[in-house]
């Protein structure tokens, strides 16, 4: 390398595969297109075998180092994902400092890239005299909420879910109060305080990369990509998604089954890496799918009656999830349906010609993957910013249909069957399918030469490359 050290980036993903996957794609682009070298700094909480196995598949210019575990036994059992991630980050700062100092002495370290709950590391980057940027594995709508949160917090007198008028944010579709992201729904909670804390840090970033693209969120993109005093530059660089799912034995069986099905005939049903339904809702979904008479491939996870994000950190359940299905269900539906426990090769499934629809929890990675493969959705959000995503997908982007819940918030089988049939065979289904095909083209264009996302990434890379430590 002619004695010139390649610029190095330290990346800190918050735990969760949904954060690591898009950052890994971003890292590959930075390595191949812009010749950076990269270190992933992982938290002990995400330092499990799946994470390590995944990191080991990345190119050799991308290495990783795990932070030592921090004590977490004092955190109450009921603490949410947001609270846990925030505390893990805060307690890991001393070891983060050590790692960054070490990288600074062994590499040409130019920037620290934190993902959305890790901006507490910014002050260390400042101390070291390197750049500090943020990566949002969600979308521009989420970022807008975070930018506006301090002002909203000061302005509103009640809880968000009690607001009579929807929350109107610059460039965004109005968000009904009850559908604001879950950590904001009760202002007296720990997670709410943490979100306010992070919101203030977001504004300190020197730039924010977002896993979205202009065509899917033209409203917020127009606003956030124009300069505003006191707000960091925002770069929509998405969709950063993997080309293929990691191979696995169960995965192969799903794909073989899809090979036997007619083109566009199967609805894929999955709630992401951590989403769980209640026992009763799982049962009802089974009955609804059966009643729809459509072909389905369903990733079933064991139910949890308290917390819809209960398997977020483990992504798998111990008991056999299929034992919670109605008696005789798999037998009665064996001609049209396949149920797989816990995990499926989602990207390969969405890319398969037999897949014609996706009943999804609207996690942002899942959404981008669906768009990139031109698959229209049924929006069934569970937690985090998923309900806001569902509002956007159904009302602004219009690539998703939402089932109507009963007054008790429960989705009944008749309604489930109706939306599934509508998506696969109805007029509304045809309309959302046509729009998602157009959006698929736009997603590809954003990442082509001269595309908006690649240009935004080039701009950031140029800033990082020209940075000289003082």
- Give me the residues that bind ligand UDP (CB under 6 A), please: 16-18, 21, 245, 270, 272-275, 299, 343-347, 363-366, 369
Smallest separation, CB 157 to ligand UDP (Å): 32
Nearer to ligand UDP, 42 or 206 (CB): 42
Nearer to ligand UDP, 284 or 348 (CB): 348
CA distances from 402 to 182, 211, 398, 415, 423 (A): 18, 23, 10, 10, 10
Give the chain's end-to-end CA distance (angstroms, integer): 23
Smallest separation, CB 272 to ligand UDP (Å): 3
The set of long-range contacts for 247-250, using a CB threshold of 8 Å and a minimum separation of 24, is 247/345, 248/343, 248/345, 250/340, 250/341, 250/343, 250/344
CA distances from 94 to 47, 89, 97, 98, 122 (A): 18, 10, 5, 7, 13
Nearer to ligand UDP, 246 or 287 (CB): 246
The residue whose Cβ lies closest to ligand UDP is: 363
Backbone φ/ψ region at 427: left (φ over 0), alpha (ψ -120 to 50), beta: alpha
Q: Give the separation between CA 308 and CA 381, rounded to whole angstroms.
A: 10
Nearer to ligand UDP, 206 or 367 (CB): 367
Residue 226 DSSP symbol: S
For helices 81-106 and 190-202, the axis angle rounded to 10 degrees is: 40
Question: Scanning the structure block, which residue is given the tokens 């109450």?
Answer: 76
For the chain, the farthest-separated pair of C-alpha atoms sits apart, in whole angstroms, at 70
Smallest separation, CB 184 to ligand UDP (Å): 17
Give the 3-state secondary structure percentages of the chain, helix then strand then coil, rounded to 5.
45, 15, 40
Q: Give the separation between CA 255 and CA 356, rounded to whole angstroms.
A: 14
Smallest separation, CB 240 to ligand UDP (Å): 10
Bridge partners, 111 (sequence order): 9, 131
Smallest separation, CB 266 to ligand UDP (Å): 15
Nearer to ligand UDP, 15 or 232 (CB): 15
DSSP reduced 3-state for 320: coil
**Residue 134: half-sphere exposure toward Cβ, Cα within 13 Å:** 29
Nearer to ligand UDP, 11 or 299 (CB): 299
For helices 427-446 and 364-372, the axis angle rounded to 10 degrees is: 90
Q: Which two tokens stand for residue 310?
A: 């209960």
DSSP reduced 3-state for 196: helix
Nearer to ligand UDP, 196 or 315 (CB): 315
Task: State the catalytic residues.
Answer: 19, 115
DSSP reduced 3-state for 25: helix
Smallest separation, CB 17 to ligand UDP (Å): 5
Counting every residue, how long is the chain?
Answer: 470
Nearer to ligand UDP, 236 or 363 (CB): 363
Smallest separation, CB 47 to ligand UDP (Å): 18
Smallest separation, CB 270 to ligand UDP (Å): 5
């Amino acid at each position: 390398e002619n004695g010139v050290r390649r610029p190095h980036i330290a990346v800190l993903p918050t735990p969760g595969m949904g954060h690591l996957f898009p950052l890994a794609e971003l890292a590959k682009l930075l390595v191949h297109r812009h010749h950076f070298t990269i270190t992933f700094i992982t938290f002990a909480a995400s330092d499990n075998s799946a994470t390590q196995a995944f990191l080991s598949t990345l190119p050799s210019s991308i290495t990783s180092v795990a932070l030592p575990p921090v004590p977490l036994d004092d955190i109450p059992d009921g603490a949410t994902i947001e609270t846990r991630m925030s505390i893990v980050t805060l307690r890991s700062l001393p070891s983060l400092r050590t790692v960054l100092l070490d990288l600074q002495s062994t590499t040409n370290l130019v920037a620290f890239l934190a993902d959305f709950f890790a901006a507490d590391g910014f002050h260390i980057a400042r101390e070291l005299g390197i750049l500090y940027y943020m990566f949002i594995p969600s979308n521009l709508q989420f970022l807008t909420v975070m930018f506006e949160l301090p002002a909203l917090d000061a302005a509103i007198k009640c809880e968000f879910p009690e607001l009579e008028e929807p929350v109107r944010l610059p460039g965004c579709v109005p968000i009904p109060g009850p559908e604001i992201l879950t950590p904001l729904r009760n202002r007296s909670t720990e997670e709410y305080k943490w979100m306010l804390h992070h919101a203030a840090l977001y504004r300190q970033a020197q730039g924010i990369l977002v896993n979205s693209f202009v065509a899917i969120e033209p409203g917020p993109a127009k606003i956030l990509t124009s300069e505003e005093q006191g707000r960091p530059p925002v770069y929509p660089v998405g969709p950063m998604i993997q080309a293929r799912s990691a191979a696995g034995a169960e995965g192969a069986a799903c794909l073989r089954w899809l090979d036997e099905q007619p083109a566009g005939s199967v609805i894929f049903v999955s709630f992401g890496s951590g989403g769980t339904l209640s026992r009763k809702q799982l049962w009802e979904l089974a009955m609804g799918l059966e009643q729809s008479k459509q072909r389905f491939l369903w990733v079933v996870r064991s139910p949890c009656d308290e917390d819809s994000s209960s398997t977020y950190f483990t992504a798998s359940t111990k008991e056999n999830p299929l034992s919670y299905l109605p008696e005789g269900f798999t037998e009665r539906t064996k001609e049209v349906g396949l149920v797989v426990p816990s995990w499926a090769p989602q990207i390969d499934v969405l890319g398969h010609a037999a897949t014609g629809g996706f009943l999804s929890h609207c996690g942002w990675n899942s959404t981008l993957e669906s768009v990139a493969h031109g698959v229209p959705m049924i929006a069934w959000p569970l937690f985090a910013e998923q309900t806001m995503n569902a509002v956007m997908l159904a009302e602004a982007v219009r690539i998703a249909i939402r089932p109507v819940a009963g007054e008790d918030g429960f989705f009944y089988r008749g309604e489930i069957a109706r939306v599934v049939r509508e998506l696969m065979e109805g007029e509304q289904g045809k309309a959302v399918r046509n729009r998602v095909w157009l959006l698929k083209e736009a997603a590809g264009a954003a990442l082509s030469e001269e595309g908006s996302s690649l240009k935004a990434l080039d701009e950031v890379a140029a800033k990082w490359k020209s940075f000289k430590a003082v």
